[in-house]
């Protein structure tokens, strides 16, 4: 049996809201040599790239000869006509994206090139035609039941964390200020050019093979968010709410906290959870923690006495959260 060749392509749209304002960020097509990191496990395409004319029975996309994805398909994967690949349509505002494991590729020679095959030097012979079939919603394979409220990390650290967050299947990401978050973090290039933030999230989808981009909300006042938006975004009748904080030792005695596996969920809805993770210095004690726990019904949870960096804590907590949500759904 011929081994399946796989690649992932992307060009997508992500929706952002900053406080009460919403804007659409369009990820621009990048040239092949401008792509720094490519973890390619599925062809990802935007709805704008897919066509279905009257002569075609199935939707398809044609990527130009100079498109970096076409070059990758030739130089790295050496795709041949008829090869079967995994593909997908990235989520937009009205859907969670679609997947297929049965897309096929075909080379369209251009100019003086007659053969529909990769050239001896690894260059593509022309455009790449991708036919999509047997598309299904990404929700049939991937869980999107976990959301994250994250106190804004340092800009460089945030850039490293964003691919991890989308890779772990976060449905909604809230980036918020906190007492220990310097105000100048909101001047990061990731917020001045939001398409860069989208690009980092796409890197995670490239690795995981999912098609659903997290919704992103940027909050410049934690107090206003808790008083106004948290109930709208994460209603108590649908979400378990937890806030993560290390166990504390007081007078040689460990103060016990709830573990993730002990979190209770609403009984009248599928399991959904939102996790609040503080900055490197932790949530301010007792003010911020009291507001989450006493005023907004967040359960305080812990993973032990170790003080973890934000990136380590986020990945660990997301993994635990998916485990308890998926275990229920199974």
pLDDT at 132: 94
State the distance between the two ends of the chain, measured CA to CA, in whole angstroms. 32
Extract the tokens encoding 23.
């804007």
Could you report the average pLDDT of every consecutive run of 10 residues in the chain (330 residues)? 45 42 38 46 85 83 87 88 89 84 94 90 94 89 92 96 96 97 95 90 87 95 95 95 78 63 81 95 90 94 86 95 78
Range of the domain at 104: 13-20+27-138
Count: domains in the chain: 2
Query: Do 194 and 304 fall within a single domain?
Result: yes
- Indicate if 200 and 92 belong to the same structural domain: no
Q: Are residues 104 and 40 in the same domain?
A: yes
Is residue 1 in some structural domain? no
pLDDT digits (tens, 9 = 90+) for 268-277: 578 999 999 9
> Do residues 217 and 296 both lie within one domain?
yes
The H or E element spanning position 322 is helix 310-329
Token pair 């949870």 is found at 301
- The last residue of one of the domains, among 116, 138, 160, is 138
> What is the tens place of the pLDDT at every residue in 286-300?
899 999 999 999 999
In this structure, the answer to whether residues 78 and 204 fall within a common structural domain is: no
Q: Tell me if 88 is assigned to some domain.
A: yes
What's the pLDDT at 114?
Answer: 87
User: How high is the pLDDT of residue 92?
Assistant: 78
Do residues 81 and 146 share a domain?
no
Is residue 319 within 8 A of residue 256, CB to CB? The reply is no
The predicted model scores a pTM of 0.81
Distance in angstroms (rounded) separating the CA atoms of residues 138 and 211: 7
Indicate if 50 and 175 belong to the same structural domain.
Answer: no
């Amino acid at each position: 049996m011929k081994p399946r060749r796989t690649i992932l392509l992307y060009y997508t749209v992500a929706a952002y809201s900053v406080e009460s304002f919403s804007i659409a960020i369009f990820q621009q097509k990048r040239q092949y040599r401008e792509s720094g990191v490519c973890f390619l496990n599925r062809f990802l395409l935007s709805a704008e790239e897919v066509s279905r004319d009257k002569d075609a029975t199935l939707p398809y996309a044609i990527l130009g000869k100079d498109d970096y994805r076409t070059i990758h398909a030739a130089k790295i994967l050496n795709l041949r006509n008829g090869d079967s690949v995994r593909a997908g349509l990235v989520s937009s505002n009205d859907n969670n994206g679609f997947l297929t494991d049965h897309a096929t590729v075909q080379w369209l020679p251009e100019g003086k090139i007659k053969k529909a095959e990769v050239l001896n030097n690894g260059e593509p012979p022309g455009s790449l035609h991708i036919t999509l079939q047997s598309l299904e919603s990404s929700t049939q394979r991937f869980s999107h039941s976990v959301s994250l409220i994250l106190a804004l990390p340092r800009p460089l650290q945030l850039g490293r964390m964003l691919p991890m967050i989308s890779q772990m299947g976060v449905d909604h990401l809230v980036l918020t200020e906190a007492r220990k978050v310097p105000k100048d973090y909101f001047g990061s290039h990731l917020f001045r050019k939001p398409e860069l933030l989208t690009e980092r999230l796409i890197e995670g989808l490239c690795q995981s093979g999912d098609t659903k981009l997290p919704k992103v909300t940027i909050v410049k006042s934690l107090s206003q968010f808790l008083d106004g938006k948290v109930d709208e975004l994460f209603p108590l009748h649908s979400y378990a709410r937890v806030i993560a904080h290390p166990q504390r030792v007081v007078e040689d005695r460990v103060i016990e906290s709830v573990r993730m596996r002990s979190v209770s969920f609403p009984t009248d809805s599928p399991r959904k959870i939102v996790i609040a993770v503080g900055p490197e210095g932790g949530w301010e004690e007792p003010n911020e923690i009291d507001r989450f726990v006493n005023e907004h019904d967040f359960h305080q949870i812990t993973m032990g006495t170790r003080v973890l960096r934000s990136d380590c804590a986020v990945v660990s907590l997301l993994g635990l959260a998916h485990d308890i949500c998926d275990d229920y759904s199974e």
